[in-house]
Amino acid sequence: MDVEFLSRLQFAFTIGFHYIYPPMSIGLGVMLIIMEGMYLRTGNKMYEEMTKFWVRIFALIFGIGVATGIVMEFEFGTNWATYSRFVGDVFGSALAAEGIFAFFLESGFLAILVFGWNKVSSKMHFFSTIMVTLGAHLSAVWIVVAGSWMHTPAGHRIVGEGTEARAEIVDFWAMVFNPSSVERLSHTIGGAWLAGAFLVLSVSAYFYIKNRHIETAKAGIKISLIVAFVASLFQLFTGHSSAVQVYEYQPAKLAAFEGHYETAPGDLYLFGWVDEEKQETYGVKIPGMLSYMLFFDSEKPVTGLNEFPKDERPPVNIIFQTYHLMVAIGMFFIGFTTLGLFLWWRGVLFKQKWFMILAVFSILLPHIGNQIGWMSAEIGRQPWIVYGLLKTKDALSKTVSANDVLISLIMFGLIYSLLFVLFIFLLNKKIHHGPDDYRLISAQDDSVSMKEVQ
């Protein structure tokens, strides 16, 4: 196995694992704002205990997100030193901005969110919840900006030649608002909201089925259904504008999404298989629909993969599959949440056990959607690490051997597996503990020191 393969595998593995957590923090943050906002508005203690319950889970998710995120920042340098030298001028400033504008905000107010219930007023606590969530969103902003620049570089110039070449910023704002930043950011954030909303939906539906914490469960189901519905519609629009943007700036990737080889009016596949050897795509399709979606004209030709040299095409079938699965999951979200709201409107939502069971298992879908959506975007950029400027194979560290990477990859494999098992174990434990009963809690004094008790 060579260094390139191992380094790519390590990056994919470490970022894939990391990417389980930040979307949940971002989405759960939004849910916390709503729950705590309901508490402040209604004064209903049930919402307070509900918020506290979810803050405990938020802290667990956030902790693992931060711990695995530090790895990502340094992995650019450890495994991709040549890339780091090439993009440092541009990419580094976005990472530094994430540190100074997002991480300090998040971590500072997180302390109040988790430990500050008895230290600050309830308004100040609510403000901290908002700030942590804002910080989590800002973090997404800067990291997605940096990632988008790798897809659609802008605001830079290339100085030096050959191995000495590097990108330098000419126009900072053109770099920040590069052609794909806004579409990519909105679609990523929408996916994060879905991850948060479905987490609350799933756990609340579980409580409901088990006949525990019924009041909290019903409130949780209602709040999360609304957020999930809004977010899934949002994903429809941002997904569409992302696809249009991809066609404009990375046509090879869009052609790969649909296994589209000949430049001709494009069809939209519902599902299918791409034979990359024969350059044929089989499956169930709607003729002309791709062209219609891109141009509102089903006759207009869409650039096909044959227009690109073979060594500048991304791997087609894997992108085709991940992209179509993502779209299918998105469609399911719209259908499922619309149905849920309809049942609620008819007043029969809480009589549908099958709906609740589906809701419990639906937690997996946003995560699958986020992972494979990200895969289709990033693998779609291959063979480029910075689209059109630097190839992945030329971006590696020169001083790192395959053995070094193998050792670190094995260590990551072990640690992350352990971490995941512990995460699921503790999450399960917290869920089984459930929210505290506010009718009992109000009788106690929270701030009693353990020391005095003993």
Partner 1 sequence: MYEGLDLNVTWFVLIGVLLTGYAILDGFDLGVGSLHLLIKNDLDRRIALNSIGPFWDGNEVWLVTGGGALFAAFPHVYATFTSGFYLAVMLILMVIIFRAVAIEFRSKVESATWRKAWDIAFSISSIMIGLLFGIALGNVIIGIPVAADKEAYMTFFDLLNPYAILVGITTVALFMMHGAIFLVMKTEGDLQKLVRGWVNNAIIFFVICYVTTTMATLIYVPQMASILKSHPEYFLIAIFNMLAIANIPREIFHGREFRAFLSSSFSILALLALFAIGIFPNLLSSTISPEYSLNIYNAASSRTTLEVMFTMALIGIPFVLSYTISIYWIFRGKVKLDNTSY
Whichever of 393 and 429 has its CB closer to partner 1, that residue is: 429
Output the smallest distance, CB 257 to partner 1, in A. Answer: 32
Whichever of 343 and 427 has its CB closer to partner 1, that residue is: 427
Whichever of 278 and 398 has its CB closer to partner 1, that residue is: 398
Output the smallest distance, CB 172 to partner 1, in A. Answer: 5
Output the smallest distance, CB 429 to partner 1, in A. Answer: 7
Residue 288, helix vs strand vs coil? coil
Whichever of 98 and 267 has its CB closer to partner 1, that residue is: 98
Whichever of 42 and 403 has its CB closer to partner 1, that residue is: 403
Collect all residues with Cβ–Cβ distance below 8 Å to 94 and sequence separation of at least 6: 142, 143, 145, 146, 149, 175, 176
Whichever of 139 and 291 has its CB closer to partner 1, that residue is: 139
Q: List C-alpha distances in Å: 244 to 70, 95, 205, 290, 394.
A: 33, 27, 37, 10, 29
Output the smallest distance, CB 111 to partner 1, in A. Answer: 4
Name the DSSP class of 447. Answer: T
Q: Is 162 exposed, middle or buried (0-12, 13-18, 19+ CB in 10 A)?
A: exposed
Pairing of strands 280-286, 301-302: unpaired
Largest CA distance in the chain: 79
Whichever of 79 and 370 has its CB closer to partner 1, that residue is: 79
Q: In angstroms, what is the C-alpha Rg of the chain?
A: 24
Output the smallest distance, CB 378 to partner 1, in A. Answer: 20
End-to-end CA gap in the chain: 59
Q: CB of 27 within 8 A of CB of 193?
A: yes
| CA atoms of 36 and 42, how far apart (whole Å) | 10
| CA atoms of 385 and 390, how far apart (whole Å) | 6
| CA atoms of 168 and 165, how far apart (whole Å) | 10
Output the smallest distance, CB 421 to partner 1, in A. Answer: 11
Whichever of 90 and 294 has its CB closer to partner 1, that residue is: 90
Q: Which uninterrupted H or E stretch holds 385? A: strand 384-386
Please count the CA atoms within 13 angstroms of the CA of 109 that sit on its side-chain side. Answer: 19
Output the smallest distance, CB 155 to partner 1, in A. Answer: 10
| CA atoms of 325 and 330, how far apart (whole Å) | 9
Output the smallest distance, CB 103 to partner 1, in A. Answer: 4
Output the smallest distance, CB 124 to partner 1, in A. Answer: 9
Q: Give rounded-to-5 percent helix, strand, coil for the chain.
A: 75, 5, 20
* Nearest Cα to Cα of residue 195 among 357, 369, 406, 47: 369
Collect all residues with Cβ–Cβ distance below 8 Å to 385 and sequence separation of at least 6: 80, 83, 150, 391, 392, 394, 395
Output the smallest distance, CB 45 to partner 1, in A. Answer: 15
Whichever of 86 and 257 has its CB closer to partner 1, that residue is: 86
| CA atoms of 148 and 180, how far apart (whole Å) | 6
CA dihedral angle for residue 37, residue 38, residue 39, residue 40, rounded to 10 degrees: 50
Output the smallest distance, CB 80 to partner 1, in A. Answer: 8
What are the tokens at 336?
């499922």
Whichever of 87 and 197 has its CB closer to partner 1, that residue is: 87
Count other C-beta atoms under 10 Å from residue 5's C-beta: 11
Whichever of 73 and 248 has its CB closer to partner 1, that residue is: 73
* Nearest Cα to Cα of residue 149 among 385, 396, 417: 385
